[in-house]
Amino acid sequence: MVQEAEVFRAAGQGRGGKALTSQSLTDEERTQIEGRIAALEIEHQDLDDVIERLSQQPDQDQLQLRRFKKRKLVLKDSISRLKILLVPDIPA
């Protein structure tokens, strides 16, 4: 499952504690990561729309708005981390 793989990759480790690189990804893992990125980008855009609408309301709930903004930042970070996994390693 992608979420499980995401946890290992965020820690920089794959199955068995091996360091992960984009070269060690299987086609299936790459496809799953790309799908996860797409889903996170949709959620990120949806949150952006919600935040925009809430910001225009005079009686907005500031706490809820801050929570949405924080969630949006977390999504952006997750998307960035996953995209890095798809970039091929460049030998030094």
The model's pLDDT over 36-51, given as tens digits with 9 standing for 90+, comes to 999 999 999 999 999 9
Max mean pLDDT range (3-12, 17-26, 37-46, 80-89): 37-46
Q: Where are the domains of the chain?
A: 2-86
What are the tokens at 18?
């091996």
Confidence of residue 34 (pLDDT cuts 50, 70, 90): very high
In order, the DSSP letters of the chain are: -HHHHHHHHHTTB-GGGPBP-GGG--HHHHHHHHHHHHHHHHHHHHHHHHHHHHHT-TT--HHHHHHHHHHHHHHHHHHHHHHHHHSPP---
> What whole-number distance in Å separates Cα of residue 12 and Cα of residue 17?
9
